[in-house]
A and B are shown apart, each in its own frame.
Chain A
């Protein structure tokens, strides 16, 4: 009894956190979309007379070492960082989920081949694959996204596969089969809803990691290339000016921390909501 009461209490607390995280995430998205349509300043327009300015009405967060408006670049950078992360994540999902569904449901040769491939990919950690890929294909955000997709689809496919394997043993799938439902219908109607929760949890926990990876790689020059305003790249650009203007270091860093914190909170909330524990934790 004691264990039960502790659990419920914990759940309640997370619900509050989750709603807050959800609202904030929507807010961030709204801002990102808003910037897409309305920009006060050109993010790449340099103005050497107005470099390293302080706070003013025209430039609410000042200007950077080339006289570019920091707020505009920060917002646009968010759009880039979050946008590319979401892109990588959704492509990985689009590849991973069908693969896992088929491998888990059909079994046999397809499954065995898949497991071999997955083991091969999993032997190599994601950061290494990202470095290797930008090494082979050259640095750039496209290749970085490709590397993330290459690493991440495997974990989704594996998650989906294991869920499908355990679900398809259950009676309701058997009944559906004996009722003459086609494979694709069983996958769509019965198995897919089951895996959505698991996948959503893993995806939201991954999003933060992907954002960190993209900004770190952009910082070391293997991600977005200048003058694109990505948060990591912004930190790299303005590094020589930190001593005189530490804000240039603070803003992009805080932006990354805030967004990753939010996605992690959202992931934790979803994990409790869908009650997924062991399978998702790597």
Chain B
């Protein structure tokens, strides 16, 4: 167990070193001099001396590897430097946006679960009934509708025409409803179909017949046998499609002008605010690592066979 975890950790660490170095290199070589970016914030003309002075101050005239070493040393102390645009420490800016993003992601996941669990279960239990057909059509459509377009329609309907809900910013629970609804609906289409097929598969297994023979009640069979058995594939896909959730969060945050780290990074990309971009990349790497590990661990809990297999091989 610990061996698997540490191997995974080493893998990610190695990859992160690679990614940070590449991104560091690109940032230094990329068009658009960061020194000029900083000095041009106020749109004033700059003298050559000012440029040189700032280069000296920020260490840009040292060899590249030494610059990278410095940066890495700071990074280990969770110091990503300061934003070129606002001058605030990057870590502070990210930590400020992170709770908002986590709230949005959690809200979308709740919507996703609230839609896909009932719909998926019902369409598996009543296979080929009208509810199955409806959920099929909805999920085919859901896979083709871009989340930002769905959001635009929601904004137009509920925000502008009916004026029920706020469509911008982050101001308490109500401002979370539309963004979470948009993203949650956009991602749930996959899970409805997946849960349905996974449930159909488990319901046809021998152990369900055995449970029926033991005289267990149908709800009990469904919940504690069939449902549990159908979760691993769903969780696998969740782990794999985490990226679409994080990416979706970015789009939705920009759409609803929601002050999370997704909007932060898009703004910083537009302004070429490299320290912030690098900070975002690393935070994402850490989040992806944590979620992947959790997904791996959850299999062991959900699928007792896995544990047995592992014991057999070790």
* A residues at B contact (CB < 8 Å): 119-120, 123-128, 130-132, 134-139, 208, 212-213, 215-216, 219-222, 232, 235, 239, 242-243, 246, 249, 253, 256-258, 260-261, 264, 282
Residues of A near B143 (CB, < 8 A) are 208, 260, 264
A55 → chain B closest CB, angstroms = 20
Residues of B near A130 (CB, < 8 A) are 247
Q: Are B247 and A123 in contact (CB under 8 A)?
A: no
Q: Does B118 contact A (CB under 8 A)?
A: no
Residues of B near A124 (CB, < 8 A) are 19, 243, 284-285, 288
Q: Does B141 contact A (CB under 8 A)?
A: yes
Q: Does B240 contact A (CB under 8 A)?
A: yes
Q: Does B269 contact A (CB under 8 A)?
A: yes
Known: A123-B292, A131-B250, A138-B31. A246 touches B23 (CB 8 A): no
Residues of B near A260 (CB, < 8 A) are 143-144, 146
Nearest-CB residue, chain A, relative to B249 = A127
Interface size of B as a range:
35 or more
Q: Are B265 and A239 in contact (CB under 8 A)?
A: no
Residues of A near B168 (CB, < 8 A) are none
What separation, in Å, do the CA atoms of A120 and B17 have in the docked complex? 11
Q: Give me 7 other A-B pairs in contact (C-beta within 8 A), A137-B26, A257-B141, A260-B143 excluded.
A: A138-B31, A138-B32, A212-B146, A220-B250, A249-B152, A253-B146, A264-B143
Q: Are A257 and B243 in contact (CB under 8 A)?
A: no
Q: Does B251 contact A (CB under 8 A)?
A: yes
Q: Does B210 contact A (CB under 8 A)?
A: no
Q: Are A136 and B27 in contact (CB under 8 A)?
A: yes
What separation, in Å, do the CA atoms of A52 and B30 have in the docked complex? 40
Of residues B23, B251, B255, B285, which shows the largest number of chain A Cβ atoms within 10 Å of its Cβ? B251
Q: Are A257 and B144 in contact (CB under 8 A)?
A: yes
Of residues B30, B140, B143, B285, which shows the largest number of chain A Cβ atoms within 10 Å of its Cβ? B143
Known: A123-B292, A125-B246. A222 touches B145 (CB 8 A): no
Interface of A is mostly: helix
Q: Are B270 and A128 in contact (CB under 8 A)?
A: no
Known: A132-B281, A260-B143. A219 touches B148 (CB 8 A): yes
Residues of B near A134 (CB, < 8 A) are 269
What separation, in Å, do the CA atoms of A222 and B288 have in the docked complex? 22
Known: A120-B15, A216-B146, A220-B266. A128 touches B251 (CB 8 A): no
Known: A131-B265, A136-B30, A260-B143. A243 touches B156 (CB 8 A): yes
Q: Are A215 and B265 in contact (CB under 8 A)?
A: no
Residues of B near A232 (CB, < 8 A) are 146, 148
Q: Does B237 contact A (CB under 8 A)?
A: yes
Residues of A near B237 (CB, < 8 A) are 282
Q: Are B272 and A138 in contact (CB under 8 A)?
A: yes
Q: Are A125 and B280 in contact (CB under 8 A)?
A: no
What separation, in Å, do the CA atoms of A253 and B152 have in the docked complex? 10
A-B contact pairs, 10 of them (CB 8 A): A120-B14, A120-B18, A134-B269, A219-B254, A219-B255, A220-B250, A242-B156, A243-B160, A257-B141, A261-B141
Known: A128-B247, A138-B31. A261 touches B160 (CB 8 A): no
Residues of B near A123 (CB, < 8 A) are 11-12, 15, 288-289, 292
What separation, in Å, do the CA atoms of A215 and B272 have in the docked complex? 22
What separation, in Å, do the CA atoms of A138 and B15 have in the docked complex? 22
What separation, in Å, do the CA atoms of A153 and B244 have in the docked complex? 18
What separation, in Å, do the CA atoms of A181 and B81 have in the docked complex? 59
Residues of A near B268 (CB, < 8 A) are 135
Q: Are B30 and A282 in contact (CB under 8 A)?
A: no
Of residues A132, A137, A208, A258, which shows the largest number of chain B Cβ atoms within 10 Å of its Cβ? A132
Residues of B near A222 (CB, < 8 A) are 266, 269
Residues of B near A253 (CB, < 8 A) are 145-146, 149, 152-153
What separation, in Å, do the CA atoms of A127 and B32 have in the docked complex? 24
Within 8 A of A (CB), among B13-66: 14-15, 18-19, 22-23, 26-27, 30-32
Q: Are B152 and A235 in contact (CB under 8 A)?
A: yes
What separation, in Å, do the CA atoms of A148 and B286 have in the docked complex? 22
Within 8 A of A (CB), among B241-293: 241-244, 246-248, 250-251, 254-255, 265-266, 268-270, 272, 277, 280-281, 284-285, 288-289, 292
A139 → chain B closest CB, angstroms = 6
A254 → chain B closest CB, angstroms = 9
Q: Does B135 contact A (CB under 8 A)?
A: no
Q: Are B269 and A128 in contact (CB under 8 A)?
A: no
What separation, in Å, do the CA atoms of A120 and B22 have in the docked complex? 14
A277 → chain B closest CB, angstroms = 11
What separation, in Å, do the CA atoms of A242 and B149 have in the docked complex? 12
Q: Does B147 contact A (CB under 8 A)?
A: yes
Residues of A near B250 (CB, < 8 A) are 127, 131, 220
Q: Are A216 and B26 in contact (CB under 8 A)?
A: no
Q: Are A261 and B288 in contact (CB under 8 A)?
A: no
Nearest-CB residue, chain A, relative to B237 = A282
Q: Are B144 and A135 in contact (CB under 8 A)?
A: no
